[in-house]
A and B are shown apart, each in its own frame.
Chain A
Amino acid sequence: MTDLAAPEALPKPKRDLLPVLLPVILALAMAPLIGSASSWVTLTVASLAMGMMIFIMASGLTLVFGLMDVLNFGHGAFIAVGAYVATLVLLPLAGWVQADSLLLNLAVLAPAALLAMAVSGALGLVVERVLILAVYGQHLKQILMTTGGLIVAEQALYALWGPQIIPLPLPTSLRGSFIIGDIAIAKYRLLAMLVGLVVFLGIQLVLNRTKIGLLIRAGVENREMVEALGYRIRRLFLGVFMVGSALAGLGGTMWALYREQVHASMGNDLTVLVFIVVIIGGLGSIGGCFIGALLVAMVANYGGFLVPKLALVSNILLMVAILMWRPRGLYAVTSR
């Protein structure tokens, strides 16, 4: 038997940690500019919470693009539908929402979030079968079809609930802040950070520790070879699309509670934001999406505090800067 000459150890792949360190560097760099420690902590926690919610909304979009090569400009519809479905649960049960009991608050919040995910996921199934299936591999048609889908969804929400902004109060237990010295940390922001972290770790766990995750990672890299190994990748596509839609629904619910309001155009408004995050992170990269969401939120919060006028364009400036540095985003996964 031929013993092939092979080096005893492969050259270790370079660990690209700079993008991971960017949020930390940014936060530390902002501290002296902000001056007050309490303001810095408040802004940093707000950024982390906002970033986590944006990540939840954007994670599905980046997975869908990475695996399916689908540009879904209708992703915002899942966000808005999720928020409205949660509203359908939370408003009629306002008594439980306003009760001064964490148990009662969670007893209404958890089903609302789960139902929002279920409906958004089911809507994802319909959209994939009706709109996406016919236009796989055709980016221009995907943009037209999904943008049209977003407009239809938005108009349907206007037709069903009207143009007014619907107030969505936070559950009583999640109102207010924890006070540590002269630092106030909003309770809901902590919850948002926790949920975002759980979603991120959950996705990482599935992608790295399960066969489905292996298939998704392999499919992002080479769909054709996955099929040649005998896997029906279309079913995987559908599953990922539904999960991505469900996560958008969860993100929409959390965002609506964060803003304490729901309106029909929220999906449209957030579409640009989640696309910026996905592009910054590198199309198809969950890790990049996570860091991109944090950076977008940090720039928005720090920028809004230091130079309020800059807040209007901060996301675009960030995206331009990142793409000038790394034209394929922080962590490029796919060459598409």
Chain B
Amino acid sequence: MTDLLTLSGVHTHIGSYHVLHGVDFGVPAGQTTMLLGRNGAGKTTTLRTIMGLWPASSGQVTLAGQRIEQRATPDIARLGIGYVPESMAVFSDLTVKENLILAARDAALDDSRLEWIFGFFPALRRFWLSRAGSLSGGQKQMLSIARAIVEPRQLLLIDEPTKGLAPAIVVALIECFAEIKRRGATILLVEQNFNVAQQIGDSVLVIDNGRIVHRGDMAALAKDTALQEHLLGLSLEAHQ
């Protein structure tokens, strides 16, 4: 399977801190790739580097054959990348509807697409005209994800979507990601919850101290307790 996104020798500095130390990996098209790692390993930095929010100091980032590491964030987004940051970053002063209108960029909201989204997240229909700031944490996460998929995107970068959410909402998100993948999108998803990761992921990358230290099938890692403990300091069994 060809890679939609590739990072090759990517270094990123944030101020005087050298965070990514030559990150290399590929994200196969049409698959969900999990990016795992301990706190501070460089997961969020990797996503932000791809988006150009913390531009790479050196190395190459290629999306569908186009080099993007020198491009500005809006230009990268316009290549068809949807980004869901860890903070969710919904615009709290705007309504749910207004948040999605902005995400739709140049086009009007597509009713059939909205219905598809409401299928996963009925709360968004219910609170359509409510200010996003008044939503619960889970509803904000739904809105943040809805914003990334309100138009078809070829790649979704999603940063810890299940963090702090109720189990019922996590189940809905897992269903949502599976459906997005079935529709042909490629997903690179950062997740701390290994139990969730092994349900969603096709392939897995593990990052530690700004370097990719493992890549392979998610299913294989899910079965290998010793490797989980070695890479992540925990095992799926211990987590359950």
Of the listed stretches A6-14, A122-130, A243-251, A274-282, chain B binds A6-14
Docked Cα-Cα span, A200 to B70, in Å, equals 41
| Contacts A211-B101, A227-B77; A4 near B91 (Cβ below 8 A) | no
Of the listed stretches B21-29, B125-133, B214-222, chain A binds B125-133
For residue A217, CB closer than 8 A to chain B, the reply is: yes
Q: Contact between A4 and B77 (Cβ–Cβ < 8 Å)? A: no
Provide the A208-234 mask, 1 if CB < 8 A to any CB of B, else 0: 000100110110111011111111110
| Contacts A229-B103, A230-B78; A221 near B134 (Cβ below 8 A) | no
Q: Contact between B94 and A214 (Cβ–Cβ < 8 Å)? A: yes
Provide the B158-188 mask, 1 if CB < 8 A to any CB of A, else 0: 0000000000110110010000000000000
Task: Please report the number of residue pairs spanning A and B whose Cβ atoms sit closer than 8 angstroms.
Answer: 90
| Contacts A3-B122, A225-B91; A231 near B130 (Cβ below 8 A) | no
Q: Contact between B172 and A228 (Cβ–Cβ < 8 Å)? A: no
Q: Contact between A227 and B73 (Cβ–Cβ < 8 Å)? A: yes
Residues on the A chain within 8 Å of B142, using CB: 4
Docked Cα-Cα span, A217 to B93, in Å, equals 7
User: CB within 8 A of A10: which of B91, B135, B172, B175?
Assistant: B135
| Contacts A4-B168, A211-B101, A211-B102; A225 near B85 (Cβ below 8 A) | yes
Q: Contact between B85 and A217 (Cβ–Cβ < 8 Å)? A: no
Q: Contact between A233 and B134 (Cβ–Cβ < 8 Å)? A: no
Please report whether the interface of chain A is mostly helix, strand, loop or mixed according to DSSP.
loop
User: CB within 8 A of B122: which of A6, A13, A214, A226?
Assistant: A6
Q: For this complex, into which size category does the number of interface residues on chain A fall?
A: 20 to 34
B65 to chain A, nearest CB (A): 20
Residues on the B chain within 8 Å of A220, using CB: 93
For residue A17, CB closer than 8 A to chain B, the reply is: no
A220 to chain B, nearest CB (A): 8
Q: Contact between B131 and A13 (Cβ–Cβ < 8 Å)? A: yes
Provide the B74-109 mask, 1 if CB < 8 A to any CB of A, else 0: 100110000101000101111000100111010000
For residue B139, CB closer than 8 A to chain A, the reply is: yes
Docked Cα-Cα span, A244 to B12, in Å, equals 37
Q: Contact between A13 and B133 (Cβ–Cβ < 8 Å)? A: yes
Docked Cα-Cα span, A4 to B123, in Å, equals 7
Residues on the B chain within 8 Å of A221, using CB: 91-93
Interface centre among A3, A226, A230, A232 (most CB of B within 10 A): A230
Q: Contact between A228 and B53 (Cβ–Cβ < 8 Å)? A: yes
Docked Cα-Cα span, A225 to B126, in Å, equals 24
Residues on the A chain within 8 Å of B78, using CB: 230
Docked Cα-Cα span, A292 to B142, in Å, equals 37
Q: Contact between B77 and A228 (Cβ–Cβ < 8 Å)? A: yes
Provide the B100-121 mask, 1 if CB < 8 A to any CB of A, else 0: 0111010000000000000111
For residue B43, CB closer than 8 A to chain A, the reply is: no
Please report whether the interface of chain B is mostly helix, strand, loop or mixed according to DSSP.
helix
Docked Cα-Cα span, A225 to B102, in Å, equals 11
| Contacts A10-B127, A10-B130, A215-B102; A228 near B94 (Cβ below 8 A) | no
For residue A36, CB closer than 8 A to chain B, the reply is: no
Docked Cα-Cα span, A215 to B105, in Å, equals 10
User: CB within 8 A of A2: which of B72, B101, B168?
Assistant: B168
Q: Contact between B134 and A11 (Cβ–Cβ < 8 Å)? A: yes
For residue A160, CB closer than 8 A to chain B, the reply is: no
For residue B51, CB closer than 8 A to chain A, the reply is: yes
For residue B211, CB closer than 8 A to chain A, the reply is: no
A213 to chain B, nearest CB (A): 10
Docked Cα-Cα span, A217 to B92, in Å, equals 10
For residue B11, CB closer than 8 A to chain A, the reply is: no
A55 to chain B, nearest CB (A): 21
Residues on the B chain within 8 Å of A8, using CB: 126
Q: Contact between A228 and B85 (Cβ–Cβ < 8 Å)? A: yes
Residues on the B chain within 8 Å of A1, using CB: 119-120, 175
Q: Contact between B91 and A217 (Cβ–Cβ < 8 Å)? A: yes
For residue A140, CB closer than 8 A to chain B, the reply is: no
Docked Cα-Cα span, A12 to B120, in Å, equals 25
For residue A5, CB closer than 8 A to chain B, the reply is: yes
Residues on the B chain within 8 Å of A226, using CB: 102
Provide the A1-41 mask, 1 if CB < 8 A to any CB of B, else 0: 11111101011110000000000000000000000000000
For residue B138, CB closer than 8 A to chain A, the reply is: yes
User: CB within 8 A of B169: which of A4, A12, A215, A229?
Assistant: A4
Docked Cα-Cα span, A232 to B78, in Å, equals 10
Residue of A nearest to B77 (CB): A230
User: CB within 8 A of A228: which of B51, B126, B138, B171?
Assistant: B51
| Contacts A4-B121, A8-B126, A10-B135; A229 near B105 (Cβ below 8 A) | yes
User: CB within 8 A of A13: which of B51, B101, B134, B147?
Assistant: B134
| Contacts A218-B102, A221-B92; A233 near B74 (Cβ below 8 A) | yes
Residue of B nearest to A6 (CB): B123
Residues on the A chain within 8 Å of B171, using CB: 2
Query: Can you list the 4 inter-chain pairs with the closest CB atoms, starting with the nearest?
Result: A230-B77, A6-B123, A225-B89, A227-B73
Q: Other CB < 8 Å A-B pairs besides A6-B139, A215-B102, 17 of them?
A: A1-B120, A2-B171, A4-B138, A5-B168, A6-B136, A12-B134, A218-B93, A218-B94, A220-B93, A221-B92, A224-B53, A227-B53, A227-B73, A227-B74, A227-B77, A228-B85, A229-B74
